[in-house]
Structure 1
Amino acid sequence: MLPLLLLISLGVGVLIGAVGVGGVLLIPALNVTAGLTIQQSMATALFTFIFTGIVGTWLFQKRGSIDWGITVPLCIGAALFGFLGAWANTWLDSRVLTLILAGLIVFAGVYTLRGSTGSHQEAFAGQRRRQQWLLAAIGAAVGFGSGLTGVGGPALSVPLLLLFGFSPLSAIGASQVIQILASVSGTLGNLQFGTIDFKLAAIVAVVEVIGVVIGVRIVHAVNAQVLRKAVAILCLLVGAGLALRAFGIL
């Protein structure tokens, strides 16, 4: 089923580059098509997101779409808490992890579908210190969630940043950078506590990176609302499917 996995990986890369949400779909794909356990799928997916993050960051920076004032505190929080999330991953059984992952996927889908429904003004605008602490807290939540479930930073950071009034393009740009820190931190934990299929990860990462290049071109060239709705529906379906599978219905 390698061709199907590679096709999904390409789509995941496109979605990461275009709307910031998409990495969550790789974990169930690895679980179903490659036969990895849910923990192995999470660890392997998280490792590949290091490379999609590096390429996404480079491409967004070239276009001047990364607000480093937002990004730096996010990365600090993510780097500190990603390792803790990976450690916590080893203490939970696969059914609990699957349900957590399903919840995160549905959460990302709902917020992506609704779009930017929070305040049109950034939280704590004009109050730099408070905003920096808020961003660090968001980064900590993203890092811990990434390490715990193998979900890349964008799936968690983009919805949270939109909720607190940050612009979609700024959120997607920042998420490319936080993806690197959260993934590296979580992977360090997985190297000690988890299992990564490096051979499969290498193949998947190459295809994902190609997708990211395509996705970044799309988000800077066209209105991304159609893509946002499409990935939101995908997230809702995949999240529901994972939940049903955890309960033995599928």
Structure 2
Amino acid sequence: MLTYSSLVLISISIGVLVGAVGVGGFFMPTALTLVAGVTIHQGTATSLFTFIFTGIVGAIYFHKKGSINWSLVGPICIGAVLTGFAGAWVGSKLSTTMLSGVLAVMIMSAGIYTLAAGDRATALAVGSSRKQWLILAGIGAITGFLSGLTGIGGPALSVPLMMLCGYSILSAIGAGQVLQIVGALSGTIANLKFGTIDFGLAWFITIFEICGVLLGAYIIHKVDIRLIKKFVGVLCVVAGFAFMFRTL
């Protein structure tokens, strides 16, 4: 009974973070391992499967609010589709310890930059349409591979990367909701063959994750965007430390 109660609270909390700031899915694989007693590979695969549905709900909500810049979504999703399967395949074969360390540094760097840069944009966020397409496709490719490998939701990676490249926070979160579907679906296809998905556990936590996503998406459209940006920066730093801890 305690386990189920813990999973409900964890799922809602992670859903709120995913819906509000896009960053939070990295907690789920570890939470499933510690609370539900599944293996790390089961936790990774199960977590990734649930993000298909949280992404759909989040994308619909953000679209209705006009918060998705679809010109950014296309190249990011193409990049993720091309690498998500490969990431999940590699994840089924290798330890993710070293990768988690690299991921920790990358996310912490994005968080520190976000807090330090304020409203300034980097040169990467401006330029020719071809340049922008390549940058966004690169973000999608990195995100898709790492998402499939580690089982964390796409926005947990794409949001800090897009912010690091100078894109606005709301554009990054909106695009991340759609990317979450593509990356999770691509990785799940691989996990059906190479990984282990606990479908009973997945459906249980998905219900509460979706509730959290709707609450988080509501919150993000009601509060000051500058406050959200600072919160994302802090959360990225915390997430980086969490990943670092995961490698120990």
1:70-219 equivalence runs, <5 A: 70-93=72-95, 95-96=97-98, 99=101, 102-103=104-105, 106=108, 109-110=111-112, 113=115, 119=121, 123-125=125-127, 127-219=128-220
Q: Shift of the alpha carbon at 1:124?
A: 3.6
Q: Among 27, 30, 38, which residue is 1:25 paired with?
A: 27
* RMSD value, Cα: 2.4
How far is 1:40 from its partner? Answer: 1.2
2:71 aligned residue (69, 72, 79): 69
The 3 A distance-change label for structure 1 pair 167 and 244 is closer
User: How far off its partner does 1:24 sit?
Assistant: 0.9
Q: Which deviates more from structure 2 when the two are superposed, residues 37-46 or residues 176-185?
A: 37-46
Change in Cα spacing, 1:234 to 1:167, as seen in structure 2 (3 Å) is closer
Aligned match for 2:16, one of 14, 24, 47: 14
Q: 1:41 to 1:118 in 2, by over 3 A?
A: farther
Letter in 1 for 2:211: I
Distance (Å, rounded) in 2 between the aligned partners of 1:124 and 1:112: 17
Residue deviations 1:80-101, cap 9 Å, x none?
1100100110221264465456
Per the alignment, residue 48 of structure 2 pairs with 46
Alignment partner, residue 223 of structure 1: 224
Supply the distance in 2 between the matched residues of 1:31 and 1:226 (Cα, whole angstroms).
Answer: 32
Query: TM-score when scaled to structure 1?
Result: 0.88
CA distance in structure 1 between the aligned counterparts of 2:168 and 2:38, rounded to whole angstroms: 37
- Aligned sequence identity (%): 50
Q: Once the two structures are superposed, what CA deviation does each residue of 1:24-71 show, in whole Å capped at 9, x if it has no partner?
A: 111211111111122211111110000010000100111111111100
Matches of 2:135 and 2:36, distance apart in 1: 39
Q: What is the identity, as a one-letter code, of the residue corresponding to 1:4?
A: S
- Which segment is superposed worse, 201-210 or 220-229? 220-229
Task: Name structure 1 gaps, 5 residues minimum.
Answer: none
Query: Structure 1 residues 237-246 or 58-67, which shifts more?
Result: 237-246
Write the letter of the residue equivalent to 2:64.
K
The number of residues matched between the two structures is 246
- Is the CA contact (8 Å cut-off) linking 1:53 and 1:180 kept in structure 2? yes
Scaled by the length of structure 2, the TM-score of the pair is: 0.88
Distance (whole Å) between structure 2 residues aligned to residue 82 and residue 213 of structure 1: 25
* Structure 2 unaligned residues grouped into runs of 5+: none
